[in-house]
Amino acid sequence: MNLPPPPDSASVAARLIDARLHLLDRQVLDRRGLPVTTVDDIALPEIPAGPLPEDGPSPTITAVLSGAFRFTRIFGGRPPVSRLDRICWSDVAEIGTAIRLRAARESLPVGWFERWAARNVIGKIPGGHHDPE
């Protein structure tokens, strides 16, 4: 798959990456290095049915997906699209041992369940508002 150049540097050439090796199950960090989520899947543009031409361009990633994949990996099927968190590919700054983003995690539409659980479940437990001493 072609890795599009970052939006702020159009002169960088696209590079070929292996999604399983370079993206899937990698931790996603925001611009401050704080953990956001892990990569469960990737989104590609609509590809016509049939084999891809050998001499044509490779598909380009449009988004990194995270969400309710654990249950579908165990029981089969695909999670509903509404349950998936999407991080636009333009927010990806660097691919390394972790995926680094240009955005802060508070501005991303991911991790809503963890934030909700921390506020509404963990926060209600005595001592749930601070780190253990």
Mean predicted lDDT score pLDDT of the chain? 77
Q: Is residue 76 part of a domain?
A: yes
Whether 126 has a pLDDT exceeding 70, the answer reads yes
Residue 3 pLDDT > 70: no
Task: Give domain status of residue 117, yes or no.
Answer: yes
Asked, for residue 107, whether it belongs to a domain, the answer is yes
Rounded alpha-carbon distances, angstroms, from residue 24 to 21, 28, 40, 108, 131: 7, 10, 6, 19, 31
Residue 74 included in any domain: yes
Q: Whole-angstrom Cα distance, residue 45 to residue 11?
A: 23
Residue 130 lies in a domain: no
| 61-96 per-position pLDDT tens digit | 899 988 766 667 677 777 777 778 889 999 999 999
Q: How far apart are CA 94 and CA 116, in angstroms?
A: 28
In a domain, 95, yes or no: yes
- Other beta carbons within 10 angstroms of residue 120's beta carbon come to 9
In three state form, how does the secondary structure of the chain look? CEECCCCCCCCCCCEECCHHHHCCCCEEECCCCCEEEECCEEECCCCCCCCCCCCCCCCECCEEEEECCHHHHHHCCCCCHHHEEEEEHHHEEEECCCEEECCCHHHCCCCHHHHHHHHHCHHHCCCCCCCCC
Q: Between 112 and 34, whose confidence is greater? A: 34
Q: Output the domain CATH number for residue 64.
A: 2.30.30.240
How many structural domains compose the chain? 1
Range(s) of the domain holding residue 64 = 2-124
* In-domain check, residue 86: yes
92 belongs to a structural domain: yes
